Amino acid sequence: MRTLSLVRSVSLAAMLLLLQAASGRAQGCVPPLGCPSPANSTVPRIIALMGHDGSGNTDPHGEFQVVFRDLANNPMPNAVIRVELTVFDVVLCADQQAELTGHGPSYVEGLTNQAGVFTVRLRGAGAGVAQQIPSGPRGGKIFGNGQLLATVEVVAYDLDGTGGVGANDLSLWLEDFGLGQDFLREDYDGNGNMGANDLSFWLTLFGDGASAASCSP
């Protein structure tokens, strides 16, 4: 009996050591230095997917930054920031900006600079029927070195993914607005509902013409 008890104790200790080792590898840091802190990091409230102009420049209206900091509030340079879509009513395009270190149909990845800042404009569009609603799924997640930093709305102005931001997208916005449900992919000011201010955002972006062309799916 005593031998069995000893075996159990040794096994338990071995498991605890393995768990601690696995935990240490996952974090890859010695607190607080180098350990990602969602609370100390700065993320956008919403992400807006963009088209581009006739010269191929991604619409600057969509530019956003992630400032990635550790538990001691130090910026984390050369860290991997990942933006991942978790819905089907918005899509990322294949032709993203060259500075990204990787991207696919549902994610992009890039590195923070020496100040811990990741700056990006994402190309994308709406797809199919609206899915993001206030009580339902948000459009995407932002990670820093694998740590979830935030869940965010992902909006699109080019709702049909063709012909840039144009008249048909306005029709789609008005159709969805008429359904009486607040669809978050069309909530451009990020206040959680669809209203006149979102229409104003759309008209301003349309008027500037910097998303006159759709990106390549």
Which of 191, 200, 204, 216 contacts Ca ion by CB under 5 A?
A: 191
CB of 99 to Ca ion, least distance (A): 26
* Span near Ca ion by CB under 5 A; candidates 65-73, 81-89, 116-124, 156-164: 156-164
212 binds Ca ion (CB under 5 A): no
CB of 149 to Ca ion, least distance (A): 23
176 binds Ca ion (CB under 5 A): no
198 binds Ca ion (CB under 5 A): yes
187 binds Ca ion (CB under 5 A): yes
CB of 15 to Ca ion, least distance (A): 50
* Span near Ca ion by CB under 5 A; candidates 29-37, 55-63, 80-88, 188-196: 188-196
Residue 57: both structure tokens together: 């420049």
Binding site for Ca ion (CB under 5 A): 158, 160, 163, 166, 169, 187, 189, 191, 198
